[in-house]
Structure 1
């Protein structure tokens, strides 16, 4: 299934992806992490499987399916599971966002694995992006609730999303999104279900907020945002794609301001603009000379 990569993929992906932190606010009080993720991944399968059967979508080879399963487990289960487990056990959301926000830097460090070269200008952009993220989440950084276990969960999430993105780009960059995604979500659903039965009570409080968070997570994030992410990975440079993740904290802050009337400080506004500049530098082929001109004009 060949799909072109229009310019709207990246901004729409960021907007939808950023709502993940919003649905966590709505859904986490009513369900344990593994239980929620098991329901979410299973819900995705209930939509994708009939769709595949109806359109008779082609399945990948067994070799490619194994690679897809590994990438899916990393990007879906270990990343989301790590973040949700850490926050559930008291990890401050701001600190969690900052740790996971190191992904673009980590991806750039290991770019040679994909035979990709990161220019000096792109490194400048990556550092600016990280600085912007730090400014955005600074007010929410709190060491209360931090533990070795929480840090470990966040480290797992960081390594998983970085490794999963690079693994997929390296070993299975092209695949039918319908069947490939099904393999990835089936793998993640199995792992989340095992985790729920081994470590959780599996009790769910079926409130309107819980149901809304689950439906949004299934349809908009797991199907919508993930499809866009896979398309971006297929078409783009891993460092450039990962740099988009820098925009998640600023976008989430803006959403929280609109939805929850959370304070939008001058630090958040400045950090947002710095982050946007950093991502722009990474994704555009800007020379150091032109970068100096841009910054001088600003």
Structure 2
């Protein structure tokens, strides 16, 4: 029988990391708000009946976390890419999440844990720099990238405090996102070119990223600390580079490999359980 606790980090990383490639593909054939509305609208309709089954205080908390995770994070992330910020810079900014999470969640980490977080961030910078994907910086792009990392950090910490099944969380949060994005799309105008590339992009984002990856993220937050989950995000840009290499033949340098090894090592050491010495009984 498959152990979801062990498989969920691997599956989440593979699903979540693929998102950047399909976002770029989708934005070639649609505006930001049109694409993100199509993705979010998947959860609306009959799923609104699930809202009535939740106590009002829980529903309000889910709506707040959903606003941060689904609306603010996704909207800011898409806009950062749309405003031509280099993907490498976006990755570096989002790489601040594991460093910010302990402070936002008020977790007390050991000195070793903080050192591993710093090592992971240094490895991420080295890997991204080796990919030479840091050439273009725009003010609006950088602003939205910062907004994205703040939204996903605070949203993840807040979601950790809500004791609700991941599917219920996803239904409520995506319903809220669908409503907000539909209003925005109606205001700014609808722009979609239904090409094969766009359909594949939207289908992947709906089925794999917005459904599979988000459900796994919510599931992991019910099992692990916010810091243990957030540190996995160091690997997202690394895997995205691997997908770029597989799909487009992007060059992977020795510097990128070295930085990636630093990231993998820091995550492994950070997530190792703390070993407490056993007390021996005395007669």
With the length of structure 2 as denominator, give the TM-score of the two structures: 0.90
* TM-fit CA distance, 1:26: 1.3
Assess if the C-alpha contact under 8 Å between 2:43 and 2:178 holds in 1: no
Aligned ranges 1:1-298 → 2 under 5 Å:
5-45=4-44, 49=47, 59-112=53-106, 116-138=107-129, 139-147=131-139, 149-170=140-161, 172=162, 174-198=163-187, 200-285=188-273
- 2:279 aligns to what? none
Assess if the C-alpha contact under 8 Å between 1:93 and 1:140 holds in 2: no
Q: Partners of 2:250 and 2:133 in 1: how far apart?
A: 15
Unaligned runs of 5+ in 1: 288-298
Unaligned runs of 5+ in 2: 276-283
Q: Partners of 1:180 and 1:286 in 2: how far apart?
A: 30
Q: Partners of 1:40 and 1:190 in 2: how far apart?
A: 12
SS at match of 1:7: helix
* TM-fit CA distance, 1:142: 3.2
Assess if the C-alpha contact under 8 Å between 2:65 and 2:155 holds in 1: yes
Provide the aligned length of Structure 1 versus Structure 2: 273
RMSD, aligned α-carbons: 2.1
Assess if the C-alpha contact under 8 Å between 2:79 and 2:144 holds in 1: yes
* TM-fit CA distance, 1:68: 0.6
With the length of structure 1 as denominator, give the TM-score of the two structures: 0.86
SS at match of 1:30: coil
Q: Partners of 1:177 and 1:276 in 2: how far apart?
A: 27
* TM-fit CA distance, 1:273: 0.8
Runs ≥4 residues deviating over 4 A? none
Q: Partners of 1:190 and 1:44 in 2: how far apart?
A: 10
Note the alpha carbon deviations across 1:122-175, whole angstroms, 9 max, x for none.
11110111011111211344353411x2222111101100000001112x1x21
